[in-house]
Amino acid sequence: MSSNSSRGVQTSVAIESSEPTVGTHRSDTVRVGVIGYGYWGPNIVRNFHALDSCQVAAVCDKSTSALARARKVYPGVHLTTDFTEILTSPDIDAVAVVTPVWTHYDLAKSALLNGKHVFVEKPFTSTREQAEELIEIADRKNLKIMVDHTFLFSGAVRKIKEVVDAGTLGPLYYFDSTRVNLGLFQHDVSVIWDLAPHDLSIMDHIIAERPEAVVATGAKHLNGVADMAFITVYFPGNIIAHVNVNWLSPVKVRTTLIGGKDKMLVWNDLEADEKIKIYDKGVQMTTGAGIYDLLVSYRSGDVWAPKVQQTEALKVELDHFVDCITHGKTPTNDGVAGLRIVRLLEAAEQSLTERGSIVTL
């Protein structure tokens, strides 16, 4: 166990099960146990519950008031305060870990060792080593890991991916994302580990190149963890990404700019309609004969708003999880994708602590 898991959940079941590994699915219904029914857990349970190909077999939370909320909505679902029931039940094929970040590694590891597929919240783990170990166990036991990078399944990000992959923007210049609002203040993780996984996973999905280095600055104003951070990610080919995350903003902003040589895209996730706009704008530099003969021309053409599907991202994502289990596919947002984000988060946290040092990846 990694030294960083000293706060870990004391699982009495973090031992390799003597039962055969589950790996292949036994029927056409995936039976899921969900651990954690706080703020985000109800969304996970609701969406699993709505899938035809899935059955929510049990929900666990150590808080009895959380379970009382679950009982009202799902009177027929088994509820427990003891996560070992979920981790060891022969009637559960997959476990969703929807608890605080520092518990992800222990719970996910126990689930895998007991032959369960794992859906784990973002960020995947607290350290790179923990993520690598979970990937290794899942590979060895032929089990799936999916990390909840919810936005990848939103209509907006699916459309952006389509637009970028089609080459509509031309070669990419930059990705610039702002995710700021007042709260929800977390006590156990910084704003980097809380909010930036969203932007970094979107960036990782959209930009095909792999990042080379990270620089981050930020500040801790209130309770010893960074509450605002400015993260810069350098890619090969002069592509640069920037992520601004902040819990201390008086207004909520969810805007991403993606600039390419040919066109530029603006995604405002707070817009009800026309979340994405594509601008046929660009800059061209041409040099004439003389040294001072630099000609800059700006191109400003049409603006259009492509249609964005409105389906709930989590529904599409959980459907993908169940499909991957049932048909032996690799999730888009598998453990390896989760590990890439954990590496970026670690690098950003290190750079911020060192007041903006360059951390190579």
Ligand X SMILES: NC(=O)c1ccc[n+]([C@@H]2O[C@H](COP(=O)([O-])OP(=O)(O)OC[C@H]3O[C@@H](n4cnc5c(N)ncnc54)[C@H](O)[C@@H]3O)[C@@H](O)[C@H]2O)c1
> Measured from the CB of residue 193, what is the shortest distance to ligand X in angstroms?
8
Window contacting ligand X (CB under 6 A); options: 32-40, 111-119, 133-141, 333-341: 32-40
Binding to ligand X by residue 98, rule CB under 6 A?
yes
DSSP class of residue 354 equals: T
Of residues 22, 30, 32, 37, which one binds ligand X by CB under 6 A?
37
Residues 263 and 280: their CA atoms lie apart, in Å, by 5
Binding to ligand X by residue 36, rule CB under 6 A?
yes
Q: Which residues are paired to 300 by β-bridges?
A: 281
> Measured from the CB of residue 172, what is the shortest distance to ligand X in angstroms?
25
Closest residue to ligand X: CB criterion: 38
- Structure tokens given for 54: 């899935």
Binding to ligand X by residue 60, rule CB under 6 A?
yes
Window contacting ligand X (CB under 6 A); options: 46-54, 62-70, 171-179, 285-293: 62-70
Binders of ligand X in range 132-171 (CB under 6 A) = 148, 150
As a whole number of angstroms, the longest Cα–Cα distance in the chain is 80
Amino acid in position 10: Q
Q: Is 163 helix (H, G, I), strand (E, B) or coil?
A: helix
Binding to ligand X by residue 227, rule CB under 6 A?
no
Of residues 100, 155, 170, 306, which one binds ligand X by CB under 6 A?
100
Residues 44 and 42: their CA atoms lie apart, in Å, by 5
Window contacting ligand X (CB under 6 A); options: 17-25, 59-67, 87-95, 241-249: 59-67
DSSP code string of 176-221:
EEEEEEE----SSS-HHHHTHHHHHHHHHHH--SPP-EEEEEEE--
DSSP class of residue 269 equals: T
Residues 69 and 49: their CA atoms lie apart, in Å, by 15
Of residues 46, 49, 62, 320, which one binds ligand X by CB under 6 A?
62
Binders of ligand X in range 66-85 (CB under 6 A) = 66, 83
The β-bridge relationship of strands 145-147 and 228-234 is unpaired
Which CB atom, from 215 or from 243, has the smaller least distance to ligand X?
Answer: 243
Give me the count of residues in the chain: 361
Chain residues in the site for ligand X (CB under 6 A): 9, 35-41, 60-63, 66, 83, 98-101, 103, 121-122, 148, 150
